[in-house]
Chain A
């Protein structure tokens, strides 16, 4: 670079040894890994076809359960000192906990975190079939209850009454006690929202079909998704966290700009 008229080979060698070359190499590597990862995640079956009642699914699920879950939940689902009983939790709870990556647990924490799922959809459904075969419980919701064709107005009202105090009025999530929190719902799939209401995972209360009917659950999901898809007409939403985030932004950037202008106004010119 310093010598403009150096010959071609010299320039190539220099190019390889340039400090920017390693940066470019790392960037390329990261891009390939990330791209491959995204491709592979997308390639996992989106609509696995598992017969939940077949003996084969149940026996496959039993093997997966014994290998991956029984350490904490016990071989007969009765639970141990390190994990709760799964009697009566139903297929919906398995699909939610395993499908969102919360189970298997990564560590002993205030609550289970959302992670990339360890099992694909077929394996998840096989385990769900096994757990449901031991004792009855809420099932995986029918896909007809998950379409975004509910009444968004009614759903938004139900969401404000039943959900918004923990999950924030925009579904952005919020803090609970001692490190627990209500998660952000903006990217949660309709099936997982439905299953969470039905089963009450972790510290979330149960909202059974007598409390919030399947139609009302569909209304809530519709309202959430419509709200997330709509263009934010109020400008930057700053995480939809409300007055705290907005106030902090104004205190730092708004007042900061005023202070900077004041300093400039009163400074003497050079």
Chain B
């Protein structure tokens, strides 16, 4: 019966007339239209009991949705949000959410199931309408354009037209210039990362309290998370911390390999290294006190503290910059100077600079 009905869907107007192919090459042996595949009846088309069962399923799904909506409304009152009780927020969210999820999902599933198994199932052809308008509409459109051109003088006042085109063309350029803000404000990254808050005599202090550190308090195997003295009251606290953060470690005497140029950079086995990874700038602080390896959690770069933070694994290309330290007259740890090289991630001036 479905096959008989499908004939009605064929349009009566002349889509069967032969059209002029224009310049297109039409192959004479083109594949013939195989037509529709044979119609296959569904179980619900042939078995009235299956159809009744499907109907019951669809009805049941709609009622589940109804129950879900009622459940969501009830939950609003049954699980109210109490002040200062985050657990009540969770219960409220979970039960209202579950109710709404069932309400929405069941409607969707019911609608699709209804359409798939019970609604009429027959293949049909709908021929596309021609997209162009009729001759009168086309002529009218051309007339409107001509009138607009005549009245505005768009093609007559060429100077105005070209000025408008130039103005609109220039408009996107300011947006491109805004991208400059993605780079550090102070000149190149090399300049921005070359100077931190550390100066000769700046005390090493604990993060986050800002208390100075006695050299004698740094026992072997210790790690201190260090910020420069005065950072907590600095105007650009977070930016400065991002550059000046330091990890302080004390190793057993004799395990440090110190190059001649850095022989006075450590104090009695206490070394300070920049905490900012030289790969992309994550804080490197996973220090293993027996292997003396420092691991970056983001991309698994590893630095060997006994060999001046040399890279032994991972994507970082240069060692962590070392902060030269000593003690002041009261025994507190102080910086000898700023870092001797830019801290932080590698960038174009520092790319591949393995030996710095």
Residue positions of A touching B, CB distance < 8 A: 157-158, 161-162, 165-166, 174, 176-177, 180, 182, 200, 202-208, 210-211, 230-235, 264-265, 268-270
Does any Cβ of A come within 8 Å of B207's Cβ? yes
- 30 example contacts (A-B, Cβ-Cβ < 8 A) are as follows A157-B208, A161-B207, A161-B208, A162-B225, A165-B283, A174-B297, A176-B286, A177-B293, A177-B313, A180-B288, A182-B286, A200-B222, A203-B290, A205-B221, A206-B220, A208-B219, A210-B213, A211-B206, A211-B217, A211-B218, A211-B223, A231-B90, A233-B86, A234-B90, A235-B90, A264-B112, A265-B112, A268-B40, A269-B42, A269-B44
Size of the B side of the interface (Cβ < 8 Å), in residues, is: 42
Q: When A165-B286, A233-B90, A270-B43 are in contact, do A205 and B293 touch as well, CB less than 8 Å?
A: no
Complex Cα distance, B112 from A208, in Å, reads 66
Task: Give the shortest distance, in Å, between A139 (CB) and chain B (any CB).
Answer: 15
A-binding residues in B (CB < 8 A): 40, 42-44, 86-87, 89-90, 94, 112, 116-117, 121, 206-208, 213-214, 217-225, 249, 283, 285-291, 293, 295, 297, 300, 302, 313
Q: Please, how many angstroms separate the alpha-carbon atoms of A87 and B302 in the complex?
A: 31
Q: Who on chain A is nearest to B300 by CB?
A: A177
- Knowing A211-B224, A233-B86, A233-B89, say if A205 contacts B289 (CB, 8 Å): yes
Supplied contacts A264-B112, A269-B44, A270-B42, 14 more A-B pairs, CB within 8 Å: A157-B208, A180-B288, A205-B221, A206-B222, A206-B289, A207-B222, A210-B218, A211-B206, A211-B217, A211-B218, A211-B222, A211-B224, A233-B87, A269-B116
**Pairs A-B, 10 closest by C-beta atoms:** A210-B217, A205-B223, A203-B288, A233-B86, A231-B87, A206-B221, A269-B116, A165-B285, A205-B289, A269-B117
**How far apart are the CA atoms of A182 and B249 in the complex, in Å?**
19
CB distance from A64 to the nearest CB of B (A): 26
Contacts of B223 in A (CB 8 A): 162, 205-207, 211
B87 contacts which chain A residues (CB < 8 A)? 231, 233
Shortest Cβ distance from residue B91 to the other chain A in the assembled complex, whole angstroms: 9
- Which residue of chain B is the closest to A157 with respect to CB atoms? B208
Find chain A residues with CB under 8 A from B297 CB. 165, 174
CA distance A180 to B313 in the complex (A): 16
Whether A177 lies near B295 (C-beta < 8 A) is yes
- How many angstroms from the CA of A232 to the CA of B94 in the assembled complex? 12
User: Cβ of A208: which chain B residues have Cβ within 8 Å of it?
Assistant: 217, 219, 222
Residue in A157, A205, A208, A264 whose Cβ sees the most chain B Cβ within 10 Å: A205
Q: In angstroms, how far is the closest chain A Cβ from the Cβ of B281?
A: 14
**Chain A residues with Cβ under 8 A from B313's Cβ?**
177
Let me know if B86 and A231 touch, CB within 8 A.
Answer: yes
B225-A177 in contact (CB<8A):
no
Contact residues in B for A202 (Cβ distance below 8 Å)? 290
The main secondary structure of chain A at its interface with chain B is: loop
Q: How far is the CA of A205 from the CA of B286 in the complex (A)?
A: 9
Interface residues of B, dominant DSSP: mixed
B249 touches A205 (CB 8 A): yes
- Which residues from chain B contact A210 at a C-beta distance below 8 Å? 213-214, 217-218
Least Cβ–Cβ distance between A173 and chain B, in angstroms: 12
Q: Which residues of B contact A234 (CB under 8 A)?
A: 90
B267 → chain A, closest Cβ, in Å? Answer: 16
Instruction: Give CA–CA (A235, B91) in the complex, Å.
Output: 9
Q: How far is the CB of A220 from chain B (nearest CB, A)?
A: 13
Q: How near does chain B come to A237, taking the closest CB pair, in angstroms?
A: 12
Report A154 CB to chain B, min CB distance, Å. 9
Q: Which of A180, A208, A210, A230 has the most CB of B within 10 A?
A: A210
With A and B bound together, what is the CA distance between A231 and B87 in angstroms?
A: 6
Q: Give the residue name and chain of the A residue nearest to B275 (CB).
A: A165
Instruction: Judge whether B90 and A203 touch: CB under 8 Å.
Output: no
Q: Give complex CA distance A145, B40 in Å.
A: 79
Q: A264: which B residues are within 8 A, CB to CB?
A: 112
Q: Output the nearest chain B residue to A202 by Cβ-Cβ distance.
A: B290
Closest Cβ–Cβ distance, residue B235 to chain A (whole Å):
22
Which one of A207, A211, A234, A264 has the greatest number of beta carbons of chain B within 10 Å? A211
Q: Shortest CB–CB separation between residue B94 and chain A, in angstroms?
A: 7
- Distance in angstroms between the alpha carbons of A248 and B290 in the assembled complex: 34
Contact of B222 among A166, A205, A268 (CB under 8 A): A205
Q: Which residue of B lies closest to A209 (CB)?
A: B217
Docked complex Cα distance between A161 and B210 (Å): 13
Q: Name the distance in Å between B54's Cβ and chain A's nearest Cβ.
A: 9
Q: B213 contacts which chain A residues (CB < 8 A)? A: 210
Provide the residues of chain B in CB contact with A230, threshold 8 Å. 86
Contact B90 A161 (CB under 8 A): no
Chain A residues, Cβ within 8 Å of B121: 269
What residues of B have a CB within 8 angstroms of the CB of A270 in the complex?
42-43
A202 to B117, CA, bound (A): 66
Please judge, given known A-B contacts A161-B208, A180-B288, whether A235 and B94 are in contact too, CB under 8 Å. yes
The CA-CA distance from A230 to B86 in the complex, in Å, is: 9
CB distance from B277 to the nearest CB of A (A): 12
Residues of A within 8 A of B224 (CB): 211
Q: How far is the CA of A269 from the CA of B115 in the complex (A)?
A: 10
Docked complex Cα distance between A207 and B220 (Å): 10
Name the residue of chain A whose CB is nearest to the CB of B224.
Answer: A211
Chain B residues in 8 Å Cβ range of A207: 222-223
Q: How far is the CA of A208 from the CA of B222 in the complex (A)?
A: 7
